[in-house]
């Protein structure tokens, strides 16, 4: 069950004890990585940069026709994060900011997959590189 499609995110999060089992302290968090698998059979990544108040869609095979859908899906996930972290948001953001208010960006200088089936591997590498480099210009892998 995807958080973005669940109308009762709070109950879902409580039932599955999401914060207790899978999440740390939001105040100490720099980034939240959310791999997304859409109904077209494609993986892409939402990176929520907590301190910068930015959410980025890292897509290894961007598609102009699917861009709107991916942006809307990302916004729904950000709204879900507002619900899941409701009790911590005021302490972290200090000015009634919410995840839903984050700027949504789509970086264009990412390595692109050369075929129609390596999107999952690219999403894994995006997460790995983002953790290591913290800079899009320092991606460590080469597409051949």
Residue 141 has a pLDDT of 37
Residues in the chain: 144
Q: Could you tell me the residue range of the domain that residue 112 belongs to?
A: 3-138
Q: Strand runs (DSSP E) across 1-144, as ranges? A: 31-37, 43-49, 54-58, 103-105
Domain contains 143: no
User: Is a pLDDT exceeding 70 seen at residue 90?
Assistant: yes
Domain contains 21: yes
Domain contains 39: yes
Domain contains 144: no
Residue 46 has a pLDDT of 95
Residue owning tokens 């077209």: 40
Domain contains 66: yes
Residue 137 has a pLDDT of 46
For residue 132, what are its two tokens?
């290591």
Distances (CA, A) of 137 to 15, 109, 120, 140: 41, 8, 21, 9
**Mean pLDDT rounded to a whole number for the chain:** 79
What's the CA gap between 68 and 56, in Å, rounded? 14
Q: Per-residue pLDDT averaged across 18-31, rounded?
A: 71
Name the pTM for this structure: 0.79
Read off the CATH number of the domain in which 28 is found.
Answer: 3.40.395.10
54-58: strand order across its sheet: 31-37, 43-49, 54-58, 103-105
Domain contains 32: yes
Distances (CA, A) of 121 to 64, 126, 141: 21, 9, 11
47-88, pLDDT tens digit by residue? 999 888 999 999 999 988 899 999 999 999 999 888 888 778
Give the DSSP H/E element, type plus range, for residue 115. none
Name the domain count of the chain: 1
User: Is a pLDDT exceeding 60 seen at residue 2?
Assistant: no
Q: Per-residue pLDDT averaged across 91-120, rounded?
A: 88
What's the CA gap between 29 and 130, in Å, rounded? 14
Cβ–Cβ under 8 Å, residues 105 and 55: yes
């Amino acid at each position: 069950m995807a958080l973005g499609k669940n109308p009762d995110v709070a109950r879902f999060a409580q039932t599955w004890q999401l914060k207790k089992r899978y999440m740390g302290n939001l105040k100490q968090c720099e980034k939240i990585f959310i791999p997304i698998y859409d109904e077209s059979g494609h993986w892409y990544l939402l990176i929520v940069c907590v301190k910068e108040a930015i959410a980025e869609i890292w897509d290894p095979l961007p598609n102009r026709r699917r861009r709107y859908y991916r942006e809307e899906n990302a916004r729904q996930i950000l709204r879900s994060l507002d619900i899941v972290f409701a009790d911590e948001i005021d302490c972290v953001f200090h000015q009634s900011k919410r995840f839903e208010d984050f700027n949504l960006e789509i970086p264009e200088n990412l390595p692109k997959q050369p075929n129609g089936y390596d999107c999952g591997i690219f999403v894994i590498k995006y997460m790995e590189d983002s953790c290591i480099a913290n800079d899009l210009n320092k991606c460590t892998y080469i597409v051949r």
